[in-house]
């Protein structure tokens, strides 16, 4: 991506979940918990169509988008070695 002058950032949805103390994510994989997680999920600044979040992979993508939102609004936490790459959540 460097050759194309495109910056890539890595995120870690589980770390975001822990930081924001979201409920029901710990039972990830259980489809019954998915609905409960989405009912309680509030991401300030980000809206989504819950009918399109069909599985936990979609939840992780949503959380990654929220991490990106937080990054661009200077609200993200970054860990890691800048020389090797940072993980943003």
Secondary structure (3-state) at 6: coil
Number of structural domains (the chain) is 1
DSSP state of 3: G
pLDDT of residue 26: 72
Q: Which residues of the chain have pLDDT under 70?
A: 1, 23, 45
Residue 39: phi, psi to the nearest 5?
-65, -35
Decide: pTM greater than 0.75: yes
| Cα separation, 22 vs 14, whole angstroms | 10
For residue 55, the model assigns a pLDDT of: 92
- Give strand pairing partners of 7: none
User: What is the domain range of residue 37?
Assistant: 2-88
């Amino acid at each position: 991506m460097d050759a194309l002058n495109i910056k890539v950032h890595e995120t870690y949805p589980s770390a975001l979940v822990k930081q924001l103390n979201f409920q029901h994510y710990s039972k990830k994989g259980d489809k019954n918990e998915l609905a409960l997680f989405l009912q309680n999920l509030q991401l300030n600044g980000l809206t989504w169509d819950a009918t399109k979040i069909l599985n936990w992979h979609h939840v992780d993508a949503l959380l990654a988008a929220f991490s990106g939102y937080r990054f661009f609004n200077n609200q993200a936490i970054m860990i890691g070695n800048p020389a090797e790459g940072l993980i943003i959540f």
